[in-house]
Structure formats: structure tokens, C-alpha cells
Amino acid sequence: MNKDRKISAPVIRRLPRYYRFLGELIDKNIQRISSRELSDKMGLTASQIRQDLNCFGGFGQQGYGYSVKGLHDEIGHILGLDNRYKAILLGAGNLGKAMAVHLSFEKIGFRLIGIFDNDPNKVGIKINDLTVMNEDDLERFCQENHPDAAIFCVPKSSAPELLEKLYKLGIRNYWNFSHYDLAFEHDDIIVENVHLNDSLMVLCYKISDKNGQKEN
Amino acid sequence: MNKDRKISAPVIRRLPRYYRFLGELIDKNIQRISSRELSDKMGLTASQIRQDLNCFGGFGQQGYGYSVKGLHDEIGHILGLDNRYKAILLGAGNLGKAMAVHLSFEKIGFRLIGIFDNDPNKVGIKINDLTVMNEDDLERFCQENHPDAAIFCVPKSSAPELLEKLYKLGIRNYWNFSHYDLAFEHDDIIVENVHLNDSLMVLCYKISDKNGQKEN
């Protein structure tokens, strides 16, 4: 891919969906797919698919479709999934534990190298092959291991202080579940927010909309 | 709002963000906001904001901005957050527990009325004020309580069988963390999927993109 070419934010948001769907095709031993089949499955128009894929080279051949494996690997490469960014997890509560246990970090560009909590009852617990450390150890750990990213599974109230600590320790990339606006104080950090409430609200809308249609 | 007017999917996706941001303004006692201020905060153009808000009535007055509370309440109403849809949670592992404990269902249109798991070690555990039930009790429970929605915090492998069971019991609305394509077999169900991997891949892209720019 030409690194100088800027990919727009909506296309970037769609890349993981392409990647996921193409991975399922590989599991089913499907080797080629047309833009029409891809579009049916993705809920996009065929022309939008072609436009998206043209952004980074265009793997299609007229009348012949796309190479599933070629496209999958290229999208993985564009997403940077062949990296092993070192991530630390802040918060070993239910959510933090769920992330540490269920996500296959290695498959999506990261390696989880440390888990921290300030609750003495959680420090020392083993999650996968990592032992939960005290937040007091953050400074030493970061100076020794230089993590690239931090995963914030902490309550909103703990987020500001923790952010300042990690910012001073040089961490500029955050995956944020805390509902606190991490980017507010620092415009040189990268934040990807997860707002689970938003998703549930959309479900609420869809149910209400369907019920409303029935009533009409 | 005119119920006959169809709101487009991208606008619907943005509504929870408006709602969240306006809620924060209310907490700060801010009563009016201009479309330019809203757009700065939301990362959209002012004209897009006006277009979005015109979809459902238009609360702005020229040169006077929007009523924060009026807009917040109207968006909540459009999202259907004043409902109390009865939801059951499938899976009382770390992720299920995190959802049950951290989400304020009542504030976003739902009421959690039951939690189920098939692991005997989890059945009987109390989460908030609910006792985890055995999945064998699903039929009786659904016939007595008629849940509106199911939250799938189960592994992909358990999802197909569980879906068939709940579908037969009349449940048509799903919040899905399972990575299984629930809508594949049934086109009369509403599914809102949460793909946490996708979000982490976007973070990976952003880090790689930044690093690439540095290298260039």
C-alpha cells in the first residue's frame, strides 16, 4: 500500500468487518468472492465495496472476483495486525478480566504484558499467565518494559489521575472503556473509545421503531 | 416526532453520542448550545449537525442555539429510552457479570429481569439482586415473564443452540457479544452486535498509521 495515501475514517471503521468476514470465508475454504457477494454480506453497495478496496490497491479482476486470502492478508497488513504492540491492562474487575481472558490480542496486533489494579484483593491474582500487579508498580514496570498502549477498564472516577500517571510515563495510545474523555486534556494521544451503552441504545431504538411500526 | 419519517442508519448511530454529550452539558448546568459548539465537540460539521437535528423536528432557534435539555429529552424519547424492555442475560462469566454490574439498564430503556448460565458453579450466585438461574429454567421463565430481549454473553459455540431455544420461546431482539451471526438463520430478528475486536483493530491501525508517518 502507498503509505502516503490517506484512508478515510469510515473506510477504516469498515476494515475490521471486511477482515472478519474474509476470515470466515477462509475457514470455509472459499477462495474467490465477487464484489456483489461481498456487498450482499456486508450490507453495502457493490460500487462502495469496489471504492473501498480500490483505496488500497484493488485486488479484484474483472469478472473474476477477489482473492479471499490475498484481500484478507492485505487488510490485516493495512490494519497493522502483524505488529505486537505491548499493552497493559488497567483494572482487573469483571470487565478487565473478560478482556484479558477472551480477546486474542496476538491475532490483532497486540501483546498483553501486564495487568494492574489498586484493589489489594485483586493484586496477586493470576489471569491467564499474568499476575495482577499493584498500580504502585506502574512506574517501574513502564520504565523497564515501555508499553505502547494502555487498556482502561477502570471507573470514570479513577481515569483522570491514572491517565496523568501513564501520560507522564510516555504512553500515548489508549483503548478506553472508562466513559472519561481521555483526549480532553491531551491532543497528542490516540484514543479508541468503547461505549457499550451506545450500542444498547441503538438496540432500544430498533425495538421501539419496530413496535411503533406495528402500532401504526 | 413524525413516526412515518424514516431516520437513516448513520443518524441513528450518532444519536447515542448526542445524548451522551448533551447529558454531560446538563451535568455542567449548561442550558443552550450552538450548532458550531456541538459540531466541534462531536467532530462533525455544523451543517451535518443541523441536518441530523432537523430529521426529528429541529430544536434550534436562529442565533440562539439549541435547548440542551429539550434536545436531550427529545433524543432520549426518539431512542425509546423511556421504555422498560425486559431483558435476560445469557452467560454469567466475566463479560456477563461486567454487563450486569456496570450498565445502568434502567437509564437506557431496559430492565434486567433474569441471568442464566449452564455452569453449575455459576448457578445460584447473586449478581446485583438477581440469582443466576440454570438454562434449563429458561422455558418456564420466559413463559411466565415474556422477556423482550436477550443479551448473549456466551461463547460462539453455544450461541446457535441457545438462539433456537430463545427463538422458539418468542424472543426476537438480541444484544450479541458472541461473534456468532445470529441473524443468519432468522431474518425476523433484531440484532445489535458488539465486536470488541473491531475496536481494538482500529486502535492498532491508528498506532501503525502514526508510527508509519513518523518513519516516512
Collect all residues of chain B within an 8 Å Cβ-Cβ radius of residue A115.
Answer: none
- Residue A34 is predicted with a pLDDT of 87
pLDDT tens per residue across span B161-179: 999 999 999 999 999 999 8
- Residue B2 is predicted with a pLDDT of 45
Residue in B closest to A21 by C-alpha: B181
The average pLDDT across B53-72 equals 76
pLDDT of residue A61 exceeding 70: no
- Residue B182 is predicted with a pLDDT of 87
- The answer to whether B200 contacts A108, with C-beta atoms less than 8 Å apart, is yes
Q: What are the phi and psi torsion angles at A44 (to 5°)?
A: -125, 165
- The answer to whether B98 contacts A95, with C-beta atoms less than 8 Å apart, is yes
The average pLDDT across A126-145 equals 96
- Residue A199 is predicted with a pLDDT of 95
The CATH number of domain B9-79, selected from 1.40.20.10, 3.30.420.10, 3.90.1150.10, 1.10.10.10: 1.10.10.10
Collect all residues of chain B within an 8 Å Cβ-Cβ radius of residue A43.
Answer: none
- The answer to whether B204 contacts A109, with C-beta atoms less than 8 Å apart, is yes
What distance in Å separates residue A115's CA from the closest CA in chain B?
16
- Residue A118 is predicted with a pLDDT of 95
What distance in Å separates residue A117's CA from the closest CA in chain B?
16
Collect all residues of chain A within an 8 Å Cβ-Cβ radius of residue B13.
Answer: 202
- The answer to whether B204 contacts A98, with C-beta atoms less than 8 Å apart, is no
- Common-topology check for domains B9-79 and B85-197: no
Q: What is the ipTM of this complex?
A: 0.92
Greater confidence, A6 or A15? Answer: A15
- The answer to whether A80 contacts B16, with C-beta atoms less than 8 Å apart, is no
Q: How far apart are CA B211 and CA A154, in angstroms?
A: 27
The average pLDDT across A156-170 equals 95
Q: Which among A97, A110, A149 has CB closest to B94?
A: A97
Residue in B closest to A102 by C-alpha: B95
The CATH number of domain A85-197, selected from 3.65.10.10, 3.40.50.720, 2.30.110.10, 3.30.450.90: 3.40.50.720
The average pLDDT across B50-70 equals 75
Ranked by mean pLDDT, the top range of A105-114, B18-27, B46-55, B67-76 is A105-114
pLDDT of residue B21 exceeding 70: yes
pLDDT tens per residue across span A10-44: 889 899 999 999 999 999 999 999 888 888 888 78
The average pLDDT across A120-124 equals 97
| Lowest mean pLDDT, pick from A43-57, A187-201, B114-128 | A43-57
- The answer to whether B80 contacts A13, with C-beta atoms less than 8 Å apart, is no
- Residue A105 is predicted with a pLDDT of 96
- The answer to whether B81 contacts A16, with C-beta atoms less than 8 Å apart, is no
What distance in Å separates residue B12's CA from the closest CA in chain A?
7
Mean model confidence pLDDT for chain A: 90
> What are the cell numbers at A194?
468503547
Q: Which among B94, B103, B204 has CB closest to A197?
A: B103
- Residue B179 is predicted with a pLDDT of 85
> Hey, where are the domains in chain B?
9-79, 85-197
- The answer to whether A173 contacts B206, with C-beta atoms less than 8 Å apart, is yes
- Residue A2 is predicted with a pLDDT of 45
The pTM of the full predicted model, rounded to 2 decimals, is: 0.88
pLDDT of residue A60 exceeding 80: no
Which candidate in A27, A40, A207, A213 is best for mutational testing of the B interface (most B CBs within 10 A)? A207
Which candidate in B11, B45, B82, B94 is best for mutational testing of the A interface (most A CBs within 10 A)? B94
Collect all residues of chain A within an 8 Å Cβ-Cβ radius of residue B80.
Answer: 204-205, 207-209
Which candidate in A3, A203, A209 is best for mutational testing of the B interface (most B CBs within 10 A)? A203
The CATH number of domain A9-78, selected from 1.10.3720.10, 3.40.50.300, 2.60.40.2380, 1.10.10.10: 1.10.10.10
Residue in B closest to A180 by C-alpha: B24
Q: How far apart are CA A192 and CA B202, in angstroms?
A: 7
| Lowest mean pLDDT, pick from A131-140, B6-15, B75-84, B115-124 | B6-15
- Residue B3 is predicted with a pLDDT of 46
Q: How far apart are CA B90 and CA B116, in angstroms?
A: 5
Neighbour-count burial for B174-205, b at 16+ CB within 10 Å, e otherwise:
bbbbbbbbbeeeeeebbbbbbebbbbbbbbbb
Of B116, B125, B124, whose CA–CA distance to B158 is shortest? B116
| Whether the Cβ atoms of residue A103 and residue B197 lie closer than 8 Å to each other | yes
pLDDT of residue B1 exceeding 60: no
pLDDT tens per residue across span A94-115: 999 999 998 999 999 999 999 9
Collect all residues of chain B within an 8 Å Cβ-Cβ radius of residue A108.
Answer: 197, 200-201, 204
The average pLDDT across A198-206 equals 96
- The answer to whether B3 contacts A78, with C-beta atoms less than 8 Å apart, is no
- Residue A216 is predicted with a pLDDT of 47
Q: Is B32 left (phi over 0), alpha (psi -120 to 50) or beta?
A: beta
- The answer to whether A83 contacts B199, with C-beta atoms less than 8 Å apart, is no
- The answer to whether A201 contacts B110, with C-beta atoms less than 8 Å apart, is no
Collect all residues of chain A within an 8 Å Cβ-Cβ radius of residue B20.
Answer: 195, 197-198
- Residue B213 is predicted with a pLDDT of 67
- Residue B125 is predicted with a pLDDT of 96
Which candidate in A205, A215, A216 is best for mutational testing of the B interface (most B CBs within 10 A)? A205
Q: How far apart are CA A186 and CA A184, in angstroms?
A: 6
Q: Work out the pLDDT band at A78, boundaries 50, 70, 90.
A: very high
Looking at the DSSP bridge assignments, the partners of residue B61 are B65
Ranges of H-type helices in chain A: 9-27, 35-42, 46-54, 68-79, 94-102, 138-145, 159-168, 196-215
- Residue A101 is predicted with a pLDDT of 92
Ranges of H-type helices in chain B: 9-27, 35-42, 46-54, 68-79, 94-102, 138-145, 159-168, 196-215
